[in-house]
Amino acid sequence: MSGQALVVAQGLGKSYPLVFRSADRMRALWRLLLGRRDPGSVPVLRDVDLRVERGQSLGLIGENGAGKSTLLKLLTGVLTPSFGNVAVNGRVGALLELGAGFHPDYSGRDNIALSAALYGLSADETRAKLEQIVDFADIGRYIDEPVKHYSSGMTVRLGFAIVAALKPDLLITDEVLAVGDEAFQKKCVRWMEEYLSGGGTLILVSHSMYHVQKLCRQALWLKAGQVAASGDVYDVTQAYLAYQEGKSAPSAPASAQNLEFHLLDVTVNGSTADTPVQIDMGGDVSVRIRVHSRDGRAPVVIVGIARMDGTPVYGVSTDMDGVVPRPDGANAYVVQISFARMPLLPGAYVIKAHPLDPEGVRLFDTIERGLTVRGASREFGMVRLAHAWNDEMAANANEPAATS
């Protein structure tokens, strides 16, 4: 059964008219006065469907310019949609552009009163929460200084402290964890975790997949103003990371059939398609490689695994293990290698196959196959190493040292 929806958007879109030249500005103004849609407009957000229910946590990810901030402004009413519609039910606390809503000439204390009034708090309610907000912001004497003298970190501290004291039905933040020192970031994360455990609802924009995975259960990936993927936070963030790694991956050399040895095909878990093979963390991988030998000699075959950005993970060759590929038709050889319970952490990888001459000296060809490892893990690195925490040692480490 679905819960109460705090945010519902259908076919949401935003476009801006082309106003680079003065003639464009005049044309856009004229069409606006006539109530017509400008055909020369540039869409920055298109066809976004979104539903966020009470108690959910949604991470909004994507590259700079993908439309994330525009979507947040549409959700908070800062912008009006060009297409579609959006409805938000409940009190919203938003931390969008740095310092938005603060009067630069007012002190931090005066801006607290102003923001509280805009959120609908009475003077008595504001006085009751004032010290709590000041303590959370922890900006010292600057609380009585004009906000225009604040650093970016101090501005975010004050804005987050106000929102934290109000505990809105829906909290919307745009890169709030990217500003400020580490201690304040930890304080924000702890508050968000408590807020969510108490039934709060969060929409978080961040370039940190660590924080998105830590705080959110769902994610939406915007790419060039459109939804590229949405759903479970681990599935979406891993797809996004695979896309980012693929952009920086070196291109593989083209196969040439007139080589002394060239690859006929590489099959991964029964698939020869160019699309990445998907496995769950700890799953099995089987690679079958067929090689054409121009003079009929059996080749040496190398199989390597690397991150999508080219970082090597593991490699092995047939001659290392004393394996000789078996004949498979005229001047063709085949070999198969299996990896059981792959210890790779979730992410995007590539399996590389190379034929070498029988002496293992010259490399002739390359075929790459993508491999996506799925799973919920916040560990670092590329592989999961078997490990165990020794509780007895950890307890002893916390005991005071004996004195003589």
Coil/strand/helix, residue 182: helix
Please check whether residues 209 and 292 belong to one and the same domain: no
Beta-strand pair 5-16/170-174 = unpaired
Q: By residue range, what is the domain housing residue 341?
A: 261-374
Please check whether residues 155 and 207 belong to one and the same domain: yes
Neighbour-count burial of 208, counting CB atoms closer than 10 A to its CB (0-12 exposed, 13-18 middle, 19+ buried): middle
Beta-strand pair 92-95/201-205 = unpaired
Please check whether residues 160 and 301 belong to one and the same domain: no
Q: Are 54 and 66 in contact (CB under 8 A)?
A: no
Task: Give the pLDDT means over successive 10-residue stretches in the chain (404 positions).
Answer: 79 78 60 59 88 94 92 90 91 75 88 85 87 89 91 86 87 78 81 91 89 90 94 87 69 58 93 86 95 93 89 92 92 96 91 90 87 86 88 55 47
Please check whether residues 60 and 107 belong to one and the same domain: yes
* In-domain check, residue 383: no
Please check whether residues 131 and 173 belong to one and the same domain: yes
Q: Which of 205, 259, 208 is nearest to 367 (CA)?
A: 259
Coil/strand/helix, residue 110: helix
Phi-psi region of 388 (alpha: psi -120 to 50; beta: other; left: phi over 0): beta
Please check whether residues 135 and 270 belong to one and the same domain: no
Domain containing 312 — which CATH number? 2.70.50.60
Coil/strand/helix, residue 245: helix
Neighbour-count burial of 344, counting CB atoms closer than 10 A to its CB (0-12 exposed, 13-18 middle, 19+ buried): buried
Q: Which of 311, 308, 310, 324 is nearest to 356 (CA)?
A: 324
Beta-strand pair 285-293/261-268 = antiparallel
Any idea which residue has 């394996």 for tokens? 323
* In-domain check, residue 400: no
Beta pairing partners, 288: 267, 336
Instruction: Give the pLDDT of residue 322.
Output: 92
Q: How far is CA 346 from CA 30, 190, 210, 280, 376, in A?
A: 53, 25, 13, 8, 7
- Please state the domain count of the chain: 2
Q: Are 297 and 356 in contact (CB under 8 A)?
A: no
C-alpha 28: how far from chain center: 36
The residue from 223, 246, 269 where one domain ends is 246
* In-domain check, residue 130: yes
Residue 306, phi then psi, degrees to nearest 5: -140, 160
* In-domain check, residue 388: no
Q: Centre a 10 Å sphere on the Cβ of residue 300 and count the other Cβ atoms it contains.
A: 24
Instruction: Give the pLDDT of residue 399.
Output: 53
Please check whether residues 240 and 273 belong to one and the same domain: no
Please check whether residues 232 and 309 belong to one and the same domain: no
The residue from 200, 215, 246 where one domain ends is 246
Beta-strand pair 57-61/218-223 = parallel
* In-domain check, residue 93: yes
Please check whether residues 266 and 136 belong to one and the same domain: no
Please check whether residues 30 and 154 belong to one and the same domain: yes
Q: DSSP states of 338-391 as a string?
A: EE-S--BPSEEEEEEEEEE-TTS--B---EEEEEEEE------SSBPPP----H
Q: DSSP letter at 252?
A: P
* In-domain check, residue 391: no
Q: Which helix (H) or strand (E) holds 124?
A: helix 123-137
* In-domain check, residue 403: no
Please check whether residues 210 and 279 belong to one and the same domain: no
* In-domain check, residue 255: no
The residue from 222, 246, 270 where one domain ends is 246
At a CB cut-off of 8 Å and minimum separation 6, what does 254 contact? none
Q: Rg (Cα) of the chain, in Å, rounded?
A: 28
Instruction: Give the pLDDT of residue 255.
Output: 45
Q: Are 7 and 75 in contact (CB under 8 A)?
A: yes
Q: Are 374 and 233 in contact (CB under 8 A)?
A: no
Domain containing 24 — which CATH number? 3.40.50.300
- Please state whether the predicted TM-score (pTM) of the whole model is above 0.75: no
Q: How far apart are CA 154 and CA 139, in angstroms?
A: 7
Instruction: Give the pLDDT of residue 254.
Output: 46
Please check whether residues 231 and 265 belong to one and the same domain: no
